[in-house]
Chain A
Amino acid sequence: MRRVQKIEEKFFKLLMILATYFILVILAIIIYSIFEKGLKSISWEMLTQVPKGGYYYGKGGGILNAILGSLSLAFGATLLAFIIGLPVALYLNVFLIRHKRVIGVIRFLLDLVWGIPSIVYGAFGFSLMIFFGFQTSLLAAIFTVTLFILPIMIRSMDEILCTVPIGLQEAAYSLGSNKSEIAFKIFTRQSFSGIITAVLLSFGRGIGDAAAVLFTAGYTDHLPNGLLEPVATLPLSIFFLLSSPVPEVQDRAYASALVLTLIILIVSLFSRGLGKRYHKTKINF
């Protein structure tokens, strides 16, 4: 009996170790294959030029249009989501703090919205775009991506804001602050690092997602030059380049994937660094 137990114990421990290292090894393989393929085909030209004639048959040019397009799309959407999202998160934690049930319902709705696949946002954004008579454009894409990253941003801000101690709020009330002052002056300062992390997290989500912008962004070989013009994005450029039968063009997809992955890795590193740096403004209890 004892022996069986020992074997069982060992067996499951082995399985657990295998599972854990499976995840780490897969991550290593993913990173390795992206870097290995990407570094081979990346060049200065790719990063600094827009596609030239015959680009999609292997002639010269680069992906600058997609890089700048993706960045402007993600910046726009993050900004818009921040303008809508921060007040919501603050409202939940300052104004509704005594109404646990209302907070519960809103958090639940946000979780529901978070779970909705990005392609559904894409389809919704598309029908909205048609409804208002828009063309595929940067603006339409920004709206769609905003809807998509909004729940992510609010929920991650909410996680931070709800850790602000009630004592701090009471102290501010006793000094004569009103609710919106407490929200915008005290809560934002106390959770500054968390808010930055939430913003950068949403930025990363926004820049990496293709399904939401598939219908609304369009595609262009030119640099983004206005809110009402179509815009190229990195994920879509990877997708299009990869479906080409020409090997040189496929190599460019690998290079674009490397660029996209690097942007996202840098953003996430950045958010960790900033988070540490701004701990200073926080009052410790």
Chain B
Amino acid sequence: MYLLNREQRHTVNTTWMIISLLLVAFLPFLLFIGLYLKSLLILHDHSLFDLIFSKTWKPSIGKFGFYPFIVGSIWVTVVAMLITAPVCLLTAIYVTQYTKKFFLRIMHPAIDILAGIPSVVYGLWGILVIVPFISRYLGPWLGIKTMGYSILAASFVLSIMIIPFVLNILIEIFRSIPTELKEATLSLGATQWQTIKHVLLRKALPGIIAAFGFGLARAFGETMAVLMVVGNVVRLPQGVFDPGYTLPALIANNYGEMLSIPKYDSALMFAALLLLVVSLFFNLVMHFFIVRYNKY
């Protein structure tokens, strides 16, 4: 029935497992090394400081200043987190502390669907709903002239995209807090909100910070949806109604022409390297918050 005997099969299976494991374990390092080697060309001519803080982006004359893109990315990410953070925190407290179990059973598929919708579809939705809403209603209402394609539109779409991600972590965290802690506080005469404010939130704080950090990292690297609604204008945004440009959008938008201009591909790989480093850094820091949280 089998080609090999038991011992041989064991050896084959084990080798296969170890090779796969090594491949996966070295993946982050491989990514880093690959992108670093590719961006060496641009790092050779320009200093790191120059690349990050120079404001001129003119690849045709060899000027690669990533500052507008970095600032654009930070704007979009921070504004998105300002929307996501309170919404997720309040929802997570509500579904874990106030509602019956069956409500969570409604919420879970809803979160799953939100998480499953591809980013292109989010972008399309942003173009269909959010961009016209901003240009027709929100902008005029606030007395601002805007195209609709703006930092705000991108942030809003992005905030919806990372809600399922952040919310799932927060729900897990609030559920893992022991009930005795709550009961003890309630029995001392605290109201439910006081319990949440003084006990639950304090207990969950490292976890909450980690959840937001993970969300932030995810938002920073999101490409397609942002690309479709952010406006893609290379300049420093002055406010949320201005169009902007983000690092991932820069990479995605220019893949067609990057081989025709010298060093352009190297510059784009450097942008990818930046994204990788930011993402690894955030995840690393947040991981230690989670570890600290689990210790208590």
Contacts and interface: CB of A to CB of B under 8 A. Distances in A.
Contact of B125 (A19, A34, A106, A119): A34
Given A208-B116, A210-B120, A239-B120, A88 B21 contact: yes
B118 A209 contact: yes
Given A106-B25, A242-B124, A19 B114 contact: no
B192 interface: yes
A5 interface: yes
Contacts, number: 233
A9 B24 contact: no
B136 interface: no
A264 B116 contact: yes
Contacts of B98: 13, 16
B255 A126 contact: yes
Interface stretch (B57-65, B233-241, B273-281): B273-281
Main secondary structure of the interface of A (DSSP, over half): helix
B38 interface: yes
Interface size class of A (residues with CB under 8 A): 35 or more
**Most interface-central of A30, A106, A215, A238 (chain B CB within 10 A):** A30
Contact of A117 (B124, B191, B221): B221
B248 A180 contact: no
Contacts of B181: none
B48 interface: no
Given A116-B276, A242-B124, A124 B31 contact: yes
**Most interface-central of B123, B192, B272, B284 (chain A CB within 10 A):** B272
A140 to B, nearest CB: 13
B275 A120 contact: yes
Interface residues of B, number: 78
Interface in A90-122: 90-92, 95, 106, 108-113, 115-122
Given A33-B128, A239-B228, A117 B24 contact: no
Interface in A1-59: 5, 8-9, 12-13, 15-20, 22-24, 26-27, 29-31, 33-34, 37
Interface of B: 6, 9-10, 13-14, 16-18, 20-21, 23-25, 27-28, 31, 34-35, 38, 86-88, 90-91, 93-95, 98, 107, 110, 112-114, 116-125, 127-129, 160, 163, 167, 191-194, 196, 214, 217-218, 220-224, 228, 248, 251-252, 255, 268-269, 272, 275-276, 279-280, 282-284, 287
30 contacts: A5-B191, A16-B90, A19-B86, A19-B87, A19-B94, A20-B107, A23-B87, A34-B125, A84-B24, A88-B17, A91-B17, A109-B25, A109-B27, A116-B28, A117-B218, A120-B272, A120-B276, A121-B31, A123-B35, A123-B251, A124-B272, A127-B38, A181-B10, A208-B116, A210-B224, A211-B119, A238-B124, A257-B124, A264-B116, A265-B113
Given A19-B88, A235-B118, 13 more contacts: A9-B191, A16-B94, A18-B90, A22-B87, A23-B163, A34-B125, A116-B279, A123-B268, A178-B6, A214-B255, A253-B124, A254-B124, A268-B113
